[in-house]
Structure 1
């Protein structure tokens, strides 16, 4: 029994794992989803009841400020102690859950998806019109999420976006075009902001360009990553020069212009699409690394760009060799592309790090001493992991990572926590590249995986506690500086003011 404000919440009626750990957290998340589902049902019934009492239909046009929706929203705000805007969103979501997305809402009720995942689906479907089209997207998204395994907010977002992209590509294109392109400059009291509205592919190029330029500074540069990216953006936009700020005579960055040009020349935005869609013979959605699902119209627009390079991916050829001939640890270019493309993002449940900004990990460790005995360099044993989760997988005790290909050729990643809870997640882009899971493996089973030496684990420059304390001191110093400046300004104003007229 949990007590809150003197009211008891009986958790015994829910299925909850007995011991603390991943299984218990999963059950508690399911309870949150079920409770939110019931909240939506209750709010919707309140709407129906209020509309009946007022003698109006829920879909009736009502221009009054204080209409049925407003009355119910106010009661929601008072009951939940939230703002009017937050209450309006609750009523809107309740309407979406009952009227437009009932099948996805049932997944929330059953604990298959969480509250954040349901919110992501609502956001993707908000602009879709027509009951039949909405019903089709609801059914398609619900079926996909039900078979996905562990569903994160990002998984739900991309699943719904894919359904919209393939069932309503014209509507999605119209929405994308209506957003338009432009640059907005706004000024506040303490600074200014520059916002660029552009296409996902150009946004990816800008993002990668700023990071590439920012990383040309040497390791002694005192600026943080965000500040270096800012300075890189200003330099690129104004035609200025981005330089290292270390101030050292022996700075190794001696030719920044050449280094920046070389860094920018290496920038690539990866888009994975079906050849028939590019040719205009099909309308299958595509995938843009760092963004996600793009509609078929967008696929063809990207392919038609003057700077686009189209490279066919020979997945069938991986059967003859997925590793480089001279280095069995390194995958071939085709294998590297296929693995990153089919996973789309880091394979850790909930992580959204793009695949091409992640490492390729041998799930069963590669044996450098005896490659034939260890984990193979093959799509069956490779997945994308961001650097952080790659380090976790390699050095954290008690965790087990695995990858399974089922009888239907579907690739599943598994993570088992130290408390014994296992999450199985389908490779995100199996819908786009289902043939990757059917590549025949020519290698044998691993019998002697590689051994990791914990001495190779990277270390922090300072402990978490020291970093936290340093951050607090930085905030305190900044506040003291601002307070001192304000006090000095007030004193100056008083000194320069004329004597009071009395």
Structure 2
């Protein structure tokens, strides 16, 4: 290896004062100096021109900084494991990462998985990341591709991966993701074919369909399917596209989108450009059987309409939807009334649930992006089933949207929170946090279409919630201390690796036992 180490201190990628003059920190912020890093550069680096060195060093420093996040994630898991033998350290660590880095639960869990995989099982590869040679995306790829390799084979796999990645005289940059995946596939196929088969079987089970909101009143349906299923669906779409009239003004892409809509409604023909069945105007209502909810903030001319699960839309689309819309008005004062009959019931009404989800938008834990419609409605002060008048009320002031993971960790006393008088959520360490600090305050705000209505109608509810959170009353810490240890994600991953490898070995054994039939000499072989 001909690369050498250089320090970022004497050769900053951004020398001199920042563009536009000295930076002035906004109110509530200050500046601090971050840690420098030593990174790998080739020997030829000293002969490059200043601009090339500057860009190259900037990339290496970004990679080294991403390696620092890996170490931080690993430390969070280790701290949670050492100080809590009941709760899953991965879940607890994910909340610590989400609060400090404003990262989603999925992103934090993926970072933890990569950190544990590389540091525990691929230390050579981890060193390449920490020294800035590869980036975090490459580290994620390596960790996921080797997840089902047996532990006893990992040292050799680690060495081979490093040989394929290491800088040389001719390789002054790490390989891109495409060549990296090919190299990983060849390496694992050669040294652990069982692990490669298990990974392929796992990947084929990783199917999903997602809806991603786009701009200009559009949404993207993203589907990850088995290859044969994807081909089947696409061929059905192409068949519908070919059924269009020759003078249809729509493009091929628009016809495919219309075909997907027809398939979802069970039609055997394309809808017309307005989305209607060409022969049966009532077919859409009969086939859809789906209610699309929207929020109206009261703006004139349909300018404040937001689709539930999508977000704000333009007046053009709002006018089209308004033709068949039915409006429902609910008084916010009634939804927030702690003396109403519904306030003493545990389950919120549909109107209350819709308002809270439309207000919060997502899970209100820092960094979490779980949509509110997929989250629980949590009583910030726990509901008292024995005496509802004494516990938290079922009102808009006392409910917050939490995904199931963060709901459980709040109940377990790892975190506590309250709604401030301005409608923001303030998170602090609970009694069972691995690193409890009574001074910690992490603030998040609602992001839903009705966020402008988030301030509690009764400010005293905010004061009660704050007192409960600061006195560490989250509602479940007593029960949590007495229950047995749940299976940790590390144990589940190890068991899953063993099970998938056993299945792959069984498939290989079954194939080896298959006997190819011998055809009689007087019959053709087909």
Q: Return the TM-score normalized by structure 2.
A: 0.42
Q: Return the TM-score normalized by structure 1.
A: 0.44
